[in-house]
């Protein structure tokens, strides 16, 4: 299995808007951004914290807390969060930087120059305490209802021009892309640019003056890295480091390329600025020839998922196959054919574990299905949040267990029902239907069917759409939708294992599995 990390970056939507003149933007910068800040972002992974991630250069430290301090509730909930809150609030006021002292609170990870700033969790449980003067703006802004704390922080810290980005920290390029201004907007002329540093993959948005644009670029030095650069035509590229100093290196690397390339269509220069970084892991299943779910692959998958869940820099995983023509052939039948009961039990537990982890994962999981996807493969895909299937009639997807003489366990059935509904599941499960792409789309087994060469890019776009939603809201909603199904297995996990073992160890089942495997081998010949 291969794990590739790529990066999707969001621009700061509010910086600037089309209604904002350059002068206003300068004013704003002077007032609210004397020190560079990243836009606060949401995650509920560490719900007691609510901070702005402050970016500092090497050798600098966070300024001391401002008078007044963080709200008492926050301090009680998490001293660390409280300390960070105070420092962040102070940073917003433009406190002078001080020399680094040991033990100072700093939010910059030591490996920042190489990795983007992780999104810090910023949501306090139970919502934010109201700060003096914060209520009006927080209530009046459409985004404030779901993000009161950011508004409060901005105002409590003396920000005169509370930028909308602070109130709506989940702004994303996708939102921009789907914004009315662009929905009917002619796409810009295709831009091809490639030099030794960077190649432009795609340009989003408009090219008219004062319009946002987004560029997806590939940084050669960083082969698996996809950089999303946002900007507004007519801006000065030199803004980028001010807004996001840690990205300076990349901006400098990238600026000559896309800026020059786009200047033909969009004016003398194009600015690029990078504000937030989201990391998406691309997990490629690689167990040739057909990505059968061997015990080893299951274990690898579980471990990788756990690692990514624990790594705060990741918010999503794209799951795809490295084997040509097959996404995943389902259970490795050699793991349950001619094996002893103990092995079968261990194998089934690993399968349960993977399903539970995937089904309840707090990350966004997108399946980029670039091959056949029968049985257990289909379950892997159904455990994801979104499925993109390559449009190839040979790439069929479904639960075909009955055709093998075996029965899908209740939790596979539940997953199926949750996805395509009861009647469709009843029919498809009994018939062991494997759906070609068009039918899979029609029945709701997959969300998109696209040409084969667009599966990965569509998966990435889907990912961006899902990541545009605040993590905490999405995760809680996912949990609400899926927990009952997962709990059902959790309650009877041992019994389910027993059922499986006693079922597959039956002579009759062993014989039919053997015959099926034989048929597969002969078919190849
Ligand atoms: C009442 C209590 C109930 C309790 C529960 C009871 C039971 C629960 C079990 C239910 C769960 C089942 C889930 C499953 O996943 S079962 C597995 C079902 N999988 C399949 O049916 C897929 C079979 N494979 C294929 O259809 C094709 O291989 C393909 C994926 C479409 C790819 O086709 P192609 O590219 O042409 O490859 P080949 O067919 O030539 O295969 C190459 C090679 O791979 C071997 N192989 C294929 N699939 C599997 C597999 N699933 N496991 C192990 N090995 C597989 C195939 O035999 C060839 O091997 P050789 O190279 O040695 O010939």
Nearest atom, ligand 1, residue 400 CA: 21
The dihedrals phi and psi of 329, each to the nearest 5 degrees, come to: -85, 5
Nearest atom, ligand 1, residue 330 CA: 15
Residue 264 belongs to a domain: no
- Tell how far the Cα of 288 is from the centroid of ligand 1, in angstroms: 12
Give the global pTM: 0.59
- Tell how far the Cα of 329 is from the centroid of ligand 1, in angstroms: 5
**Domain encompassing residue 495:** 272-522
DSSP 137-178: HHHHSTTTTT-HHHHHHHHHTT-SS--HHHH-TT--HHHHHH
Nearest atom, ligand 1, residue 328 CA: 30
Asked whether 416 and 425 are in contact (CB, 8 A), the reply is: yes
Asked whether 339 and 517 are in contact (CB, 8 A), the reply is: no
Pocket test for ligand 1, best of 289, 379, 501 (most atoms within 8 A of CB): 289
Residue 26 belongs to a domain: no
Nearest atom, ligand 1, residue 394 CA: 31
Q: Is 225 a catalytic residue?
A: no
- Tell how far the Cα of 130 is from the centroid of ligand 1, in angstroms: 58
Residues 119-158 as b/e (b if ≥16 CB within 10 A, e otherwise) read bbbbbbeeebebbeebeebbeebebbebbbbbbbbbbbbe
Residue 49 belongs to a domain: no
What pLDDT is attached to residue 291? 93
Choose among 150, 173, 6: nearest CA to 92.
Answer: 150
Q: Is 239 a catalytic residue?
A: no
DSSP 351-413: HHHHHHHHHT-SSEEEEEE-SBEETHHHHHHHTSSEEEEE--TT--EE--GGGGT----HHHH
Asked whether 466 and 386 are in contact (CB, 8 A), the reply is: yes
Residue 164 belongs to a domain: no
3-class DSSP assignment, residue 299: helix
Residues 446-476 as b/e (b if ≥16 CB within 10 A, e otherwise) read bbbbbeeeebbbbbbbbbbbbbbbbbbebbe
CATH label of the domain that carries residue 291: 3.90.226.10
What pLDDT is attached to residue 314? 72
The residue behind tokens 């996404």 is 327
Residue 373 belongs to a domain: yes
Asked whether 33 and 273 are in contact (CB, 8 A), the reply is: no
Asked whether 188 and 199 are in contact (CB, 8 A), the reply is: no
Residue 292 belongs to a domain: yes
Catalytic member of 278, 335, 401, 462 = 401
Q: How far apart are the first and last CA of the chain?
A: 27
- Tell how far the Cα of 283 is from the centroid of ligand 1, in angstroms: 21
Domain count, the chain: 1
Residue with CA nearest ligand 1 atom 16: 331
- The answer for residues whose C-beta is within 8 angstroms of residue 170's C-beta and 6 or more apart is 41, 42, 147, 468, 469, 470
Q: Is 376 a catalytic residue?
A: yes
- The answer for residues whose C-beta is within 8 angstroms of residue 125's C-beta and 6 or more apart is 47, 48, 77
What is the chain's pLDDT, residue by residue, as a tens digit (525 residues)? 434 333 333 333 333 333 333 334 434 433 333 222 222 222 222 221 111 222 222 223 333 333 333 334 434 444 444 443 333 333 323 333 332 222 211 111 212 222 333 333 332 333 333 333 333 222 222 222 222 223 333 333 332 222 232 222 222 222 222 222 222 333 444 445 555 555 555 554 443 333 344 455 555 544 444 444 444 443 333 333 333 332 333 333 333 333 332 222 222 222 222 222 346 777 888 888 999 999 989 998 898 888 778 877 678 888 999 889 999 999 999 999 999 999 999 999 999 999 999 999 999 999 999 999 999 999 999 999 999 999 999 999 999 999 988 999 999 999 999 999 999 999 999 999 999 999 999 999 999 999 999 998 888 788 878 887 888 999 999 999 999 999 999 999 999 999 999 999 999 999 999 999 999 988 765
Choose among 207, 208, 200: nearest CA to 229.
Answer: 200
- The answer for residues whose C-beta is within 8 angstroms of residue 416's C-beta and 6 or more apart is 382, 399, 408, 425, 428, 429
DSSP secondary structure code for residue 200 in this structure: E
Catalytic member of 14, 33, 233, 400 = 400
Catalytic member of 29, 276, 285, 331 = 331
Cα 60 from Cα 62, distance rounded (Å): 7
Catalytic member of 376, 377, 398, 432 = 376
Cα 392 from Cα 415, distance rounded (Å): 24
Q: How many CA atoms lie within 13 A of 441 on its CB side?
A: 14
What pLDDT is attached to residue 201? 56
- The answer for residues whose C-beta is within 8 angstroms of residue 435's C-beta and 6 or more apart is 396, 397, 398, 428, 443, 445
Nearest atom, ligand 1, residue 408 CA: 10
- Tell how far the Cα of 189 is from the centroid of ligand 1, in angstroms: 46
Torsion, Cα of 277, 449, 318, 358 (10° steps): 120
- Tell how far the Cα of 175 is from the centroid of ligand 1, in angstroms: 41
- The answer for residues whose C-beta is within 8 angstroms of residue 183's C-beta and 6 or more apart is none
Residue 265 belongs to a domain: no
Cα 317 from Cα 296, distance rounded (Å): 20
- Tell how far the Cα of 139 is from the centroid of ligand 1, in angstroms: 56
Asked whether 437 and 395 are in contact (CB, 8 A), the reply is: yes
Q: How many CA atoms lie within 13 A of 223 on its CB side?
A: 1
Q: What DSSP element (H or E) covers 9?
A: strand 2-10
Pocket test for ligand 1, best of 329, 433, 521 (most atoms within 8 A of CB): 329
Residue with CA nearest ligand 1 atom 62: 521
What pLDDT is attached to residue 276? 28
Q: Is 460 a catalytic residue?
A: no
Nearest atom, ligand 1, residue 329 CA: 30
What's CA 157's distance to the chain center, in Å? 31
Residue with CA nearest ligand 1 atom 58: 521
- Tell how far the Cα of 376 is from the centroid of ligand 1, in angstroms: 9
Sign of the CA dihedral with 334 first, then 335, 341, and 342 last? positive
Residue 455 belongs to a domain: yes
Residue with CA nearest ligand 1 atom 30: 329
- Tell how far the Cα of 365 is from the centroid of ligand 1, in angstroms: 24
Asked whether 53 and 47 are in contact (CB, 8 A), the reply is: no
DSSP secondary structure code for residue 194 in this structure: B
Nearest atom, ligand 1, residue 403 CA: 21
3-class DSSP assignment, residue 89: helix
Pocket residues for ligand 1 (CB within 6 Å)?
A: 289-290, 292, 325-326, 329-334, 372, 374-376, 400-401, 404, 406-409, 499-500, 503-504, 517, 520-521, 523-524
Choose among 359, 426, 369, 427: nearest CA to 396.
Answer: 369
- Name all contacts of 427-434 with Cβ < 8 Å and 24+ positions apart: 428/398, 428/399, 429/399, 429/401, 429/402, 430/402, 431/402, 432/398, 432/399, 432/400, 432/401, 432/402, 432/403, 432/404, 433/398, 433/400, 434/374, 434/396, 434/397, 434/398, 434/400
């Amino acid at each position: 299995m291969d794990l590739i990390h790529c990066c999707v970056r969001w621009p700061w939507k509010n910086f600037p808007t089309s209604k904002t003149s350059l002068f206003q933007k300068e004013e704003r910068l002077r007032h609210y951004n004397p020190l560079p800040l990243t836009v606060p972002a949401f995650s509920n992974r560490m719900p007691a914290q609510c901070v702005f991630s402050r970016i500092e250069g090497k050798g600098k430290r966070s300024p001391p807390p401002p008078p007044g301090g963080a709200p008492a509730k926050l301090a009680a909930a998490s001293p660390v969060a409280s300390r960070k809150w105070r420092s962040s609030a102070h940073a917003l006021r433009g406190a002078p930087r001080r020399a680094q002292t040991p033990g100072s609170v700093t939010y910059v990870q030591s490996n920042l120059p190489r990795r983007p700033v992780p999104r810090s969790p910023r949501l306090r449980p139970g919502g934010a305490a109201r700060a003096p003067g914060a209520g009006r703006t927080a209530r009046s802004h459409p985004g404030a209802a779901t993000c009161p704390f950011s508004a409060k922080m901005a105002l409590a810290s003396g920000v005169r021009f509370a930028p909308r980005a602070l109130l709506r920290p989940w702004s994303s390029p996708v939102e921009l892309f789907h914004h009315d201004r662009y929905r009917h907007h002619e796409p810009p002329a295709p831009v091809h640019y490639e030099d030794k540093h960077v190649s432009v993959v795609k340009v989003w948005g408009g090219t008219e003056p004062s319009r946002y644009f987004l560029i997806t670029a590939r940084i050669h030095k960083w082969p698996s890295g996809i950089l999303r650069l946002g900007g507004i035509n007519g801006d000065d590229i030199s803004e980028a480091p001010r807004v996001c100093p840690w990205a300076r290196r990349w901006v400098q690397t990238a600026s000559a390329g896309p800026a020059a390339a786009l200047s033909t269509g969009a004016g003398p220069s194009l600015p690029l600025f990078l504000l937030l970084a989201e990391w998406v892991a691309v997990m490629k299943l690689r167990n040739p020839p057909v990505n059968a779910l061997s015990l080893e692959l299951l274990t690898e998958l579980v471990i990788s998922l756990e690692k990514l869940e624990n790594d705060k820099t990741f918010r999503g995983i794209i799951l795809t196959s490295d084997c040509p023509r097959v996404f995943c052939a389902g259970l490795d039948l050699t793991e349950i054919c001619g094996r002893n009961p103990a092995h079968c039990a261990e194998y089934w537990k690993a399968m349960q574990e993977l399903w539970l982890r995937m089904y309840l994962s707090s990350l966004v999981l997108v399946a980029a299905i670039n091959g056949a996807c029968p049985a257990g493969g289909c379950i892997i895909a159904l455990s994801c949040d979104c499925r993109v299937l390559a449009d190839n009639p040979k790439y069929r997807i479904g639960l075909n267990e009955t055709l093998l003489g075996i029965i899908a366990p209740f939790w596979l059935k539940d997953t199926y029902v949750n996805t395509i509904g009861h009647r469709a599941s009843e029919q498809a499960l009994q018939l062991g239907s494997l759906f070609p792409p068009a039918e899979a789309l029609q029945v709701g087994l997959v969300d998109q069917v696209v040409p084969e060469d667009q599966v990965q890019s569509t998966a990435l776009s889907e990912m961006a759409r899902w990541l545009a939603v605040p993590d905490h809201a999405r995760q809680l909603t996912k949990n609400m939708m899926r927990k009952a199904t997962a709990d059902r297995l959790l309650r009877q996990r041992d019994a389910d294992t027993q059922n499986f073992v006693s079922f597959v160890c039956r002579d009759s089942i062993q014989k039919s599995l053997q015959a099926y495997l034989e048929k597969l081998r002969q078919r190849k010949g």
